[in-house]
Amino acid sequence: MAFLSWRDQYRVGVTDIDQEHRYLFGLINEFHDKHRGGADDKALEQILNRLVQYSEEHFRHEEETMLASEYPLHAEHCALHEALFMTLFRLSEELAAGSLRIDRDTHRFLRAWLVQHILKHDLAFSDYLAQRAKATPAIDHNTAAASAEE
């Protein structure tokens, strides 16, 4: 069983964002499995660096999506991303400097880092999108065109 398993309850409902979250799950699992398999710090550093880089890209993309859908908590969410990114970045710096001892707590931290953010904050965005879709139902263009001809 994977260290971090994807669950339906983590779905935000935006295909790209869900795919990116799953990719982040994969990186955290890779980091965990390589460590358990006895990989050296250099190999772990590479995975952590990929996690840092991919998180940055993912956060940017998520923030653009929020902006495009006029999410009112956009600024607050950006601040959360910034704090998450800095924590992750510091972790990678410590690993590169040889001052990080990777243990069970490190893995648990990474798992919680992602899962808690998705459950608490990304799903709030998901709720907002659902409410917004209900409030502005898509116009049925066929019906609109037919009544214009009458």
Which of 62, 73, 79, 51 lies closest to 13 in space, CA to CA?
Answer: 62
d(CA 120, CA 94): 28
**Stretch of 20-28, 57-65, 98-106, 108-116 lying at the interface with Fe ion (CB under 5 A):** 57-65
Closest residue to bound Fe ion by CB: 122
**Stretch of 35-43, 90-98, 117-125, 132-140 lying at the interface with Fe ion (CB under 5 A):** 117-125
Q: Does 122 bind Fe ion (CB under 5 A)?
A: yes
Nearer to Fe ion, 62 or 91 (CB): 62
3-state secondary structure of 90: helix
Query: DSSP per residue over 21-66, as a string?
Result: HHHHHHHHHHHHHHHHTT--HHHHHHHHHHHHHHHHHHHHHHHHHH
Kindly state the smallest distance separating residue 127's Cβ from Fe ion, in Å: 13
Kindly state the smallest distance separating residue 117's Cβ from Fe ion, in Å: 6
Q: Does 20 bind Fe ion (CB under 5 A)?
A: no
Kindly state the smallest distance separating residue 77's Cβ from Fe ion, in Å: 6
Q: Give backbone dihedrals phi and psi of 5, rounded to 5 degrees, phi first.
A: -100, 140
What tokens appear for 83 in the block?
């704090």
Cβ–Cβ under 8 Å, residues 118 and 12:
yes
**Stretch of 6-14, 54-62, 64-72, 127-135 lying at the interface with Fe ion (CB under 5 A):** 54-62
Kindly state the smallest distance separating residue 126's Cβ from Fe ion, in Å: 10
Residues that bind Fe ion (CB under 5 A): 62, 122
